[in-house]
Structure 1
Amino acid sequence: MARRRAVVTGASSGIGAATVRALRFRGWEVVGVARRADRLEALAAETGAEVFAADLTQQADVDALAAHLAATGPLHALAHVAGGARGADRVEDGDPGDWTWMFEVNVLATQRVVRALLPQLRATVDDEGGYGDLLFVTSTAAQAAYPGGSGYNAAKAGESMIVGALRLELNGEPLRITEIAPGLVQTEEFALTRLGDAQAAAAVYADVQDPLTADDVADVIAYALTAPGHVNLDLITMRPVAQSAQHLLHRGPLRVRQADGRG
């Protein structure tokens, strides 16, 4: 099979950076995209990936990315990981600026990237045959509301609806549309960006046995992109064992309960 080429957004840290590593390990050509050029250069030195600095909330940057990709080779897959949360306030207390930022990075950036890169994915499939992939990392926050999550709930639900509509709109084309919705993932920046305080961010994961890691999610992304071409994994919801639902997180060791003799 010929080498495949993927764009991975949000590649400067967390799940995005782990996805670059996972795909490079599997022999993919990868273009890592994020705002922070210094982090991208370090990732390029580590993995051999190509990198491109861009702010996906800015149309000029998205256009520049699309032009670069078109000039440098075929595109077989988009792994859109970029996104984020700000604030954990009640609806009545939320900062509209935080909500605007979340809609920009989770919803509008998703539409901008799809609009810019879908023609290249179609062109590659038309030239080479096979299939193309558009994969999106959303969140279990898209599936269930929780107190203090309203802005992020709304933004990720919006992104999830884009993914669902896109799958229907592209029916009949050899393009797979996949949504990965992780629950609690311990990364170096997500909770800190959201809460703005290192102590509060650490408390999110305190006493949780084995929260998901960025590598866990990247492994699932890599599997989805390397599954047989006729297999589409529409939606993968993944959580740590300690998190049975968005609102139900066990803190402390996981223990097997002894049978109580009831038949």
Structure 2
Amino acid sequence: MQTPPVVFVTGATAGFGLAITRRFLADGCRIVICGRRVDRLDALQKELGDLVHAIPLDVRDREDVEGAIASLPPAFSDIDILVNNAGLALGTLSAAHAEVDDWDVMVDTNIKGLMYCTHTILPGMIARGRGHIVNMGSVAGEFAYPGGNAYGGSKAFVRQFSKNLRADLIGTPVRVTYVAPGLSGGTEFSQVRLKGDEAKAASVYQDTQPLSADDIADSVHWAATRPAHVNINEITLMPVCQAPGPMAVHRGAKK
């Protein structure tokens, strides 16, 4: 009987990460859940049981990442699926007025954190001859919009990094998938981006039916459960109420 895989999920205490955890747990997978909020990790560990191993982790700290992964107990140490889910957007101001500190946090989390986890876990996958890395991106990585500057740029990096990572892995059985959700509700994304302004965060989804965290978890699970010879390179998904728009044209007086 095949041993259930080990899934390592960053940013697992809410939103996409928690939904992804629950989806794989339903298959009997062993899950390593990571996050910075220790109280939530403790509560989830108690709720989800022995198939889950919770570790406090700030993906922005390379030593923390390397130490946490090196110290995993044997039952959770051979990671089969890495879901690089930890990420965030901060602010909606134009580039000229954005807070550079916000840019730093987005780059450190969305780019460097993802690279640290990938670089630490990938050698073991190659050595064992199996593995799948799922990098969570955003439609903002492909479709630009005002105020998306550093966030969109960071997700464009994740998209291209995923493609280059797959190119590096040619000749190995390790798979790489990039998942780019569109408008998604039921998460803390907009509250974080708008720095706790719940009214503004709610207005983002007013009169829409956005994607749910479960929709995203289902797409990740589907990609990870294809036959071993199939690599899903990229998944882009939007709710039917959303679509890419036309290029912006400013019409003003000639100077």
Establish whether TM, by shorter chain, passes 0.5. yes
1:118-139 Cα distance to aligned partner (Å, 9 max, x none): 11212332xxxxx310111100
Q: Is the 1:6–1:29 contact (alpha carbons within 8 Å) kept by the matching residues of 2?
A: yes
1:132-151 equivalences in 2 (<5 Å): 132-151=131-150
Matching residue of 2:17: 16
1:36-79 Cα distance to aligned partner (Å, 9 max, x none): 11111222222222111110001121012221237443211101
1:170-249 equivalences in 2 (<5 Å): 170-196=169-195, 197-208=197-208, 210-245=209-244
1:70-219 equivalences in 2 (<5 Å): 71-72=74-75, 73-125=77-129, 131-196=130-195, 197-208=197-208, 210-219=209-218
CA distance in 1, matches of 2:69, 2:121: 6
CA distance in 2, matches of 1:227, 1:46: 29
- Aligned-pair distance for 1:245? 2.0
Q: Is the 1:85–1:190 contact (alpha carbons within 8 Å) kept by the matching residues of 2?
A: yes
Matching residue of 2:64: 61
State which drifts further: 19-28 or 63-72. Answer: 63-72
Q: Is the 1:11–1:20 contact (alpha carbons within 8 Å) kept by the matching residues of 2?
A: yes
CA distance in 2, matches of 1:246, 1:74: 43
Q: Is the 2:11–2:87 contact (alpha carbons within 8 Å) kept by the matching residues of 1?
A: yes
Amino acid at match of 1:60: E
Q: Is the 1:76–1:124 contact (alpha carbons within 8 Å) kept by the matching residues of 2?
A: no
Q: Is the 2:16–2:187 contact (alpha carbons within 8 Å) kept by the matching residues of 1?
A: no
CA distance in 1, matches of 2:100, 2:29: 40
Instruction: Give the alignment partner of residue 50 of structure 1, picking from 53, 68, 82.
Output: 53
Structure 1 portions without partners, runs of 5+:
126-130, 249-263
Alignment TM-score, normalising by the size of structure 2: 0.91
Distance verdict in 2 for CA 1:246–1:61, change over 3 Å:
farther
- Aligned-pair distance for 1:2? 2.3
Q: Is the 1:183–1:238 contact (alpha carbons within 8 Å) kept by the matching residues of 2?
A: yes
Tell me the matched-pair count: 242
- Aligned-pair distance for 1:91? 1.4
Distance verdict in 2 for CA 1:246–1:70, change over 3 Å:
farther
Amino acid at match of 1:42: A
CA distance in 2, matches of 1:123, 1:68: 18
Q: Is the 1:141–1:246 contact (alpha carbons within 8 Å) kept by the matching residues of 2?
A: no
Matching residue of 2:4: 3
Alignment RMSD: 1.5
CA distance in 2, matches of 1:85, 1:230: 35
CA distance in 2, matches of 1:22, 1:66: 22
Distance verdict in 2 for CA 1:246–1:173, change over 3 Å:
farther
CA distance in 1, matches of 2:166, 2:245: 25
Identity %: 36
Amino acid at match of 1:30: I
Distance verdict in 2 for CA 1:247–1:13, change over 3 Å:
farther
- Aligned-pair distance for 1:187? 2.8
1:83-137 Cα distance to aligned partner (Å, 9 max, x none): 0000001111111111111100000111111111111212332xxxxx3101111
Q: Is the 1:70–1:120 contact (alpha carbons within 8 Å) kept by the matching residues of 2?
A: no
CA distance in 1, matches of 2:78, 2:3: 11
In the TM superposition, structure 1's runs of 4+ consecutive aligned residues that sit over 6 Å from their partners are: none
Amino acid at match of 1:88: T
- SS of the aligned residue for 1:186 comes to coil
